[in-house]
Amino acid sequence: MPINENFLLCPDMDSLPRIDPPLRIGVMASGNGSNFEALVESTLSSSLNAKVELLVVNNECCFAIDRAKRLGIKYLLHDHRDYVSRHELDKALIQSFKEFEIECIVMAGWMRVVTPTLINSFNNRIINIHPSILPSFPGLNAIDKALAFGVKVTGCTVHIVSAEVDSGPILAQAVVPIFEHDNKQSLRRRIQEQEHKILPIGVAVAAERWRLEDLSRDNMC
Ligand code: GRF
């Protein structure tokens, strides 16, 4: 895999085949939503042949909602506190995404663990972005952990979601150096700059595989 001068460990978007037909994406977010917006922007600029059809949030105060309103993307609230279990929440998510004919879900800062019910129902076509170079520092507080450990580089990873948290097949990564003067805010800012670049690329890498899978399945029928 090429490493370019920005330390992106993934192909250039231009080198990937155009997704055909366009991918119908649903996004799940719990907070700020900057990755959600970066993904939408990449679809609007046509660098990613996809459409973000729906945003689902689990928190009515999250800023991702403001972004969705500004970008003209439909959004739904599924507050996890309204469901008796993760399983029940995931069943409701499945119903909403199926209504919007979503093919692929992107977890862009979704701060809940998803169940195999959701993963299986989307045929493993769920993508997550995580602020470390996996498999280092999975789980919560990855940036704090990198600073506390004293590593000299960290970064971010786009990967397919599997039942174990932050552990599925890797689609794209970017490396971010840690400087002496870094604190959590400065490091997070630089990691997020890279996240916004590699999230659309990771989606395109996965979509290329899925379109080939779909083609070979159609040919077998
Ligand atoms: C990102 O750092 C992502 O890696 C993690 O949650 C954060 C979400 O940020 N999973 P934002 O809400 O997209 O700004």
Which domains can be identified in the chain, with CATH numbers?
20-220 (3.40.50.170)
Atom of ligand 1 nearest to the CA of 64: 12
What are the pLDDT digits (tens) for 146-186?
999 999 999 999 999 999 999 999 999 999 999 999 999 99
Chain segment 46-104, per-residue pLDDT in tens: 789 999 999 999 999 999 999 999 999 999 999 999 999 999 999 999 999 999 999 99
- Burial of residue 36, with CB atoms counted within 10 A of its CB: 0-12 exposed, 13-18 middle, 19 or more buried: buried
The one-letter code for the residue type at 95 is Q
Residue showing tokens 């916004």: 196
Residue that is written with structure tokens 């969705």 in the block: 68
In the annotation, is 80 catalytic?
Answer: no
Q: How many CA atoms lie within 13 A of 101 on its CB side?
A: 4
Instruction: Decide: 27 in ligand 1 pocket, CB within 6 A.
Output: no
Measured distance CA(208)–CA(155) in Å, rounded: 24
